[in-house]
Amino acid sequence: MTVFASVVTAHAIENQLEGSDPRVRIKWVNDLQMNGKKICGILTEASVHMENGSLDYAVVGIGINLYSRKWPRELAGIAGDIETLSGRILSPNRLTADILSSFSLLSSERLTSVLPEYRSRSCLIGQDVLVFPSGMISSSPAPAYEAHVTGIDDRAGLIVRDRSGSVRTLSSGEVSVRTVRHSDEVVDDA
């Protein structure tokens, strides 16, 4: 559902921008970016019926940074807004209508049909990242590790190869793009 929401929200934004740059990219799994800055976050909560495995409900929250603002110093390098990055002011009513219209056509086939576009919009494939695994190991968080993103699987899992060469598919967790400076100091970019 989050993958679907990411793609249809990217479409709604680009439709209003009428094909002008910059293109909306997706940072696995739930962030939209323009020019490398986060312009949108998507959170999905769902409940599955325990007896038959069917979906009871899903709630999708989509927060879009539409208007120009001065970002706090700690966010200025990673957060952005559509007005500043595109030079255009978008209609929140039209965005909402476009997104809701796409959801009204939602089916299990449509959920899987957006995966190729989700992959093509990925800003992580081919990038080196820091992986922050979810879950607890021995009552302490699992340590972060460096990896290279090689793809996105058919269930929207992020495929990474760690420094030892092991390939893992992430279904949860957080990744941060990393830049290695000449001194080999690792810097988190987002």
Q: What is the DSSP annotation of 107-138?
A: -HHHHHHTHHHHHHTBS-TT-EEEEE--SEET
Write down which residue in 120, 144, 163 finishes a domain: 120
In a shared domain, residues 58 and 144: no
Lowest-confidence range among 28-37, 55-64, 136-145?
136-145
> Could you list the residue range(s) of the whole structural domain that residue 23 is in?
2-120
Lowest-confidence range among 45-49, 72-76, 149-153, 183-187?
183-187
In a shared domain, residues 82 and 101: yes
| Residue 179 pLDDT grade (very low, low, confident, very high; cuts 50, 70, 90) | low
In a shared domain, residues 17 and 109: yes
pLDDT reading at 39 higher than 90: yes
Q: What percent of the chain has pLDDT over 70?
A: 89
Q: What is the mean pLDDT of the chain?
A: 88
Write down which residue in 120, 144, 174 finishes a domain: 120
| Residue 190 pLDDT grade (very low, low, confident, very high; cuts 50, 70, 90) | low
In a shared domain, residues 154 and 95: no
| Residue 187 pLDDT grade (very low, low, confident, very high; cuts 50, 70, 90) | very low
| CA-wise closest residue to 18 among 121, 78, 113, 94 | 94
In a shared domain, residues 102 and 132: no
In a shared domain, residues 95 and 34: yes
Write down which residue in 120, 137, 166 finishes a domain: 120
In a shared domain, residues 27 and 115: yes
Q: What's the CA gap between 15 and 19, in Å, rounded?
A: 7
Residue 23 is given by DSSP the state P
In a shared domain, residues 26 and 61: yes
The predicted-structure confidence for 140-170, as pLDDT tens digits, reads as follows: 567 889 999 999 999 999 999 999 999 999 9
In a shared domain, residues 74 and 152: no
pLDDT reading at 185 higher than 60: no
Q: What is the mean pLDDT of residues 25-29?
A: 95
pLDDT reading at 56 higher than 70: yes
In a shared domain, residues 77 and 6: yes
Q: What is the mean pLDDT of residues 102-110?
A: 80
| Residue 104 pLDDT grade (very low, low, confident, very high; cuts 50, 70, 90) | confident
Of the ranges 21-35, 101-115, 175-189, which is most confident? 21-35
Helix, strand, or coil here: 170? strand
Number of compact structural domains in the chain: 2
